[in-house]
Amino acid sequence: MDTLLKELGRRCLEYSPDTFQYIGTAAVVRDMIALHDVLEGSDKPLNFWGVSYGTVVGSYFINMFPDRVGQVVLDGVVDPVYWANRPAHLLWDVSVASSEDTFDGFCNACALAGPSECAIAKQNSTAASIRQWTQELLDKAYHHKRQFGSAAQVTSARIRNRLFGAMYSPSSWPSIAEARRAEERIIFPGRNTNSTENDTTVDDPAFDYSFQGITCADAIDTVNVTTKDVFDMILSTARNVSPTFGPLWGDAGFFCHHWPVRAVERYTGPWNKKLSSTIIVIGNEADPITPLISAKKLADALGDSAVLIEQDDYGHSSLAMHSNCTVAALQNYFVHNKLPTQDIFCGTNQVLFPAAGGDVTKKTVDRAKAASKVEARRSS
């Protein structure tokens, strides 16, 4: 693995020897400011809406140029301290801290929708049985790959990756359940299913290592980090943080200890500058890759310079599920320059699974979970 990581870095550097050190976030922010000055004028504040990695760009911008801040929204927050001030591989267990909550939401919603709307549900499925079914599929796919080698049409890694991707976007949950049922049919060809999904053997797209280049350009030097340290962290994450998604390989930070280039400029804080304008920070209750705690941490660090919107949804960023409350707050901010007077909590109103007995929404799931807890207390 060390040889492969070093060779990848060597080839990337060989391909872009004169520009590779300029893809770090500090350089991006300076380019953004320069473009803004040409287009809008250097006397104008800069408005910005950053989502996911865009919140890294935003965190750098507001702290590198605190007097240039206009209307800024940071949505689906990456912790800038772990991004810029800690060894890059340590960001993984922070990132997936809420991924099991998202998966719980999927399992609960699927069970409530039932077999007519969720392909992996049975008549009396529960969230626990959906979880068990998924784990069984992963286990069988692992052994399927060991049995058939390169001829295997399904692997546990591919299932896990695609399932994780679906956690970003709850609108994909019905179709991802269909795909998982189709994969079961490949592994268990004699098992009867109602799935109509057939496209499970399409090759994954070619991997793009640009994000590795950006992440590692910003990363601190890691002289003492080894590949064993990286794998030990992945194992710890799988055991202690997210058994379902912790084992995934591929996070950009896993590559940085052998990456040959760091950015010409690396901003490392502080992250709590007093800003010329108050910004909005948004975090989801169950975001699989940028947990709410990161948004709260950033908003707390900025103090009076930030207002937090906590959105009650699953998925990555506020864009994952529609919220009239969040949309109204953002419209007031961008159109009328009016901020919420305090931190606010916004519900969502998006269907997770349509169902004959009533559409399954986040509120439906929350009510079912609350009722289950009450019943458990009565039984104990």
For residue 61, the enclosing domain spans 45-85+268-346
Summary mean pLDDT of the chain: 92
Provide the token pair at 287. 């975001």
> What mean pLDDT comes out for the span 145-155?
91
Structure tokens at 239: 């055991």
Within a domain: residue 352? Answer: no
- 238 falls within a domain: no
Predicted TM-score of the model (pTM): 0.91
Task: Tell me, yes or no, whether 251 lies in a domain.
Answer: no
Report how many domains make up the chain: 1
Q: Is residue 295 part of a domain?
A: yes
- Confidence at residue 339, expressed as pLDDT on a 0 to 100 scale: 97
Q: What is the DSSP letter of 353?
A: B
The mean pLDDT of 1-11, rounded to a whole number, is 93
The pLDDT of residue 156:
94
Kindly report, residue by residue over 165-191, the tens digit of the pLDDT: 999 999 999 999 999 999 998 887 655
Alpha-helix runs per DSSP H in the chain: 2-15, 25-39, 53-64, 80-84, 91-95, 99-113, 127-148, 156-167, 173-187, 210-218, 227-240, 292-302, 324-336, 362-379
Q: What is the CATH number of the domain that holds 50?
A: 3.40.50.1820
Task: Specify the DSSP class assigned to residue 220.
Answer: P
Q: What is the per-residue pLDDT across 335-351, written as a single tens digit (0 to 9) for each?
A: 999 999 999 999 998 99
Mean pLDDT score, 118-138:
96
CA-based torsion, 260, 264, 268, 271: positive or negative: negative
Mean pLDDT for 32-55 is 97
Q: Is 364 among the domain residues?
A: no
Contact 72, 57 (CB under 8 A): no
Q: Does 67 fall in a domain? A: yes
**Among the listed residues 116, 126, 100, 101, the one whose alpha carbon sits nearest the alpha carbon of residue 368:** 126
